[in-house]
């Protein structure tokens, strides 16, 4: 296992659509080693999730923690489908956009269909913050960063976000 270097905003790998993984390759040593490296890297970086393109691998794999009590999950070739028009606004950060935060509006309920690290199909419905985490990580597989979806005027450095985020009032926009 190895801790990999995380690609930062501006690197072209983050703007490419990642390649799907053939189902028969999921259990190969190459993919299993990549998953282990992703796990080591996200733990080292203290992240909630990581997509393979973030460690310079154009593969459709994400590892994410959608519920702290359940630990990390591996999704291979995930497909997300919004299940509601109701949206929620959260401040997001990203290991590839270090020390920054911005407000992003996303659907509050999604269905995820993917394969796990054993090549088994999985399907789940996620709501609220877990739905946001899933959409953020899966966006990486299509070359999208949260800053592409952010609300104008909300991008801030992490230190200032911690100091001033409580001053943002989005109540008029959410009605």
Domain count, the chain: 1
- For the ranges 38-42, 69-73, 103-107, 171-175, the lowest mean pLDDT is seen at 171-175
CATH number of the domain to which 107 belongs: 3.90.45.10
> What is the tens place of the pLDDT at every residue in 60-70?
999 999 887 78
Q: Give the whole-angstrom CA distance, residue 55 versus residue 77.
A: 17
Q: Are 107 and 131 in contact, with CB atoms under 8 Å apart? A: yes
Q: Give the whole-angstrom CA distance, residue 47 versus residue 142.
A: 20
Measure the N-to-C terminal CA separation of the chain; round to a whole number of Å. 48
Question: For residue 5, is it within any domain?
Answer: no
Question: For residue 20, is it within any domain?
Answer: yes
Mean pLDDT of 87-102: 96
- Is it the case that residue 172 has pLDDT exceeding 50? no
Question: For residue 3, is it within any domain?
Answer: no
Asked whether the whole model's pTM tops 0.85, one would answer yes
What's the confidence (pLDDT) of residue 171?
53
Give the pLDDT band of residue 36 (cuts 50, 70, 90).
very high
* Catalytic residue list contains 137: yes
Question: For residue 6, is it within any domain?
Answer: no
- Is it the case that residue 52 has pLDDT exceeding 50? yes
Question: For residue 98, is it within any domain?
Answer: yes
Domain holding 122, by residue range, is 12-174
CA nearest to 90, candidates 63, 53, 127, 39: 127
Catalytic residue among 40, 68, 137, 173: 137
Question: For residue 4, is it within any domain?
Answer: no
């Amino acid at each position: 296992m190895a801790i990999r270097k995380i690609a930062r905003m501006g690197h072209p790998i983050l703007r490419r659509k990642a390649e799907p993984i053939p189902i028969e390759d999921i259990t190969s040593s190459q993919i299993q080693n990549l998953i282990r490296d992703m796990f080591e890297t996200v733990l080292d970086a203290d992240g909630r999730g990581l997509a393979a393109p973030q460690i310079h691998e154009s593969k459709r794999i994400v590892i994410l923690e959608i519920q702290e009590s359940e630990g990390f999950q591996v999704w291979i070739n995930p497909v997300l489908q919004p299940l509601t028009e109701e949206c929620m606004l959260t401040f997001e950060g990203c290991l590839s956009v270090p020390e920054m935060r911005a407000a992003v509006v996303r659907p509050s309920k999604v269905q995820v269909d993917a394969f796990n690290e054993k090549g088994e199909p999985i399907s789940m419905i996620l709501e609220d913050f877990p739905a946001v985490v899933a959409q953020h990580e899966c966006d990486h597989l299509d070359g999208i960063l949260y800053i592409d979806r952010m609300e104008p005027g909300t991008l801030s450095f992490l230190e200032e976000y911690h100091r001033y985020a409580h001053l943002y009032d989005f109540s008029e926009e959410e009605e």
